[in-house]
Amino acid sequence: MATEYDAVVFDNDGVLTTPTDRAVLVDAMYDAFGDVGVIAPSDDHVRTLLRPSVDSLYDIAGAHDVDPHELWTAREYAAIEAQLEEIEAGRKRLYDDIDALTGLETATAIVSNNQHETIGNIVDHYDLDWFDDWYGREPTVQGIDRKKPTPYYLDLALSELGTENALYVGDSWVDIQAAEAAGMDVAFIRRPHREGYDLERAPTYEIEGLDAIPDLV
């Protein structure tokens, strides 16, 4: 039986749009190091810069004697630029089943761990301004600690939407954990890139595509 939710909030990468190719992001990390004067970072440091904690960011910045805030700013804008190229080239595209969402009568929003500017680029390029609100991570060191599974941006979205009765749709364990922390039900969408992906916590629902959302709400 469907639950009457006041809003549905969506993760972006792997839910609304295809994930960015990892090789593209790795190249962006090399560019970021180059932007702060680091010519030959180790592969390990490049991997760390992809998804650092605040402590690991400070560690690799210290190893290269660069300011961690400057390194992180360079990292974020290199990733923003690289992903915009992927969007404009049609390689980072919308999933076809997104059309199932346009008839929803509930409020909708996007909450992503991707940069706020990247989500804005997706909204603009694909004409997704029918979403009521959207949030991505600000390009600051503080933004690292605010990303999911911390529910910071989910809480912002719920406050803006004026409800606590919302469903979150995601494709990872961090989405499930963040939704639980925000007091939300969660639908895990098992796209092809999540085949064989094990979940430590059971979601409220497991679905195969966005066309299942209208029946849930």
Per-residue pLDDT tens over the stretch 33-90: 999 999 999 999 999 999 999 999 999 999 999 999 999 999 999 999 999 999 999 9
CB 30 within 8 A of CB 41: yes
- Which residue carries 């959207």 as its tokens? 134
Distances (CA, A) of 181 to 49, 86, 166, 175, 178: 26, 32, 13, 10, 5
Per-residue pLDDT, averaged over 180-193, amounts to 96
Assign 214 a pLDDT band (cuts: 50, 70, 90): very high
**pLDDT higher than threshold 70 for residue 2:** no
The sheet carrying 107-115 orders its strands as 133-137, 107-115, 7-10, 166-170, 185-189, 205-207
Q: Count how many residues are written for the chain.
A: 217
Q: What is the pTM of this model?
A: 0.95
Domains for the chain: give ranges and CATH numbers: 7-19+93-216 (3.40.50.1000), 22-88 (1.10.150)
Return the higher-pLDDT residue of 4 and 79. Answer: 79
For 95-152, the pLDDT digits (tens) are 999 999 998 999 999 999 999 999 999 999 999 999 999 999 999 999 999 999 999 9
